Structure 1
Amino acid sequence: MVKKKLFSGDYEIHASIKMLYPYIQTAGGLAEWFADDVRINNNDKTFLFCWDHEVRKARQVAFRINHFARFEFLPEDGEDQNDPSYFELRLEFNELTQSVFLKVLDYSDFDDVEELQDLWNGLMEKLHKTVGG
């Protein structure tokens, strides 16, 4: 079994927290920058994240309006159900600089940290273009 690692990154975004929050918490907002498509399965309230014709199911396990959203991926074949992969997107405001930051926490078995950082950098570029920030 592959050991999971926690990736953490902070990204400055020139937009208000109130404007950004739907982009980190709703299926429609996430579909604009995070995945090729994001849908909600109304039967079991899971989020369906689609990337390159691959679909992963996740549950939104925690959120606080205008602060953060956390999604836990449902275990796939052979994955440890007691140690699920997750990602958390947290909006933070720096009083000193009056800047908004998106803090990313990505707990997964992705083994190449540099490639994972490049992936998140690309996603943040897409989010910047989407929100104009």
Structure 2
Amino acid sequence: MSKKQLFTLEFPVRCSPGILYEFLSTPAGLQEWFADKVDEWDGVYSFSWNGGTPDKAKVIDKEEEKFIRFHWLHSEKNEYFEFRIEKTEISNQTILVIKDFAEKNEIKDQSQLWEYQVKELFHRLGS
């Protein structure tokens, strides 16, 4: 049984949900900010960094312009990482919500890694 915990990060983004979803759900979009090389075959995405061995993740759920949830093939069955697009009610601002799992003592490091990645995403979006 895994000791990993679910954690959530939220990032306001100045971008339409449609454009943001493309960056979160397509190999070309993910390759812009998330990994050096991204391929997809039959719902399984292959992510490579620095020419290393690819990590594979299966899309387990998605809704166009709302969210996409991946499961790393090497991780526990109940673990996933998710990109969710929400809108605030009052200001109608777009919020990127990232959910991921990490060991309790690794959540801070994992959060910083996501923050770095999201900064790269915002740079690509011009946001």
* C-alpha distance 126-36 of structure 1, shift in aligned 2 (>3 A): same
Q: Distance in 1 between matches of 2:43 and 2:89?
A: 36
SS at match of 1:112: helix
1:58 and 2:57 aligned: yes
CA contact (8 A) 2:102 2:110 kept: no
1:87 and 2:81 aligned: yes
Question: Residue type matched to 2:114 in 1?
Answer: W
Identical residues among aligned pairs (%):
30
1:70 and 2:66 aligned: no
Q: Following TM superposition, by how much is the alpha carbon of 1:128 offset from its aligned partner in structure 2, in angstroms?
A: 0.5
Q: Distance in 1 between matches of 2:53 and 2:104?
A: 16
Q: Which residue of 1 aligns with 2:96?
A: 102
Q: TM-score, normalised by structure 1?
A: 0.85
Give the count of matched residue pairs.
Answer: 126
Runs of 5+ unmatched residues, structure 2: none
Q: Following TM superposition, by how much is the alpha carbon of 1:6 offset from its aligned partner in structure 2, in angstroms?
A: 1.0
Structure-to-structure mapping, 1:105-116, within 5 angstroms? 105-109=99-103, 111-116=105-110
CA contact (8 A) 1:86 1:108 kept: no
Q: TM-score, normalised by structure 2?
A: 0.89
Query: RMSD over aligned Cα, in angstroms?
Result: 1.8
SS at match of 1:15: coil
Q: Following TM superposition, by how much is the alpha carbon of 1:109 offset from its aligned partner in structure 2, in angstroms?
A: 4.5
1:31 and 2:10 aligned: no
Runs of 5+ unmatched residues, structure 1: none
1:5 and 2:9 aligned: no
SS at match of 2:33: coil
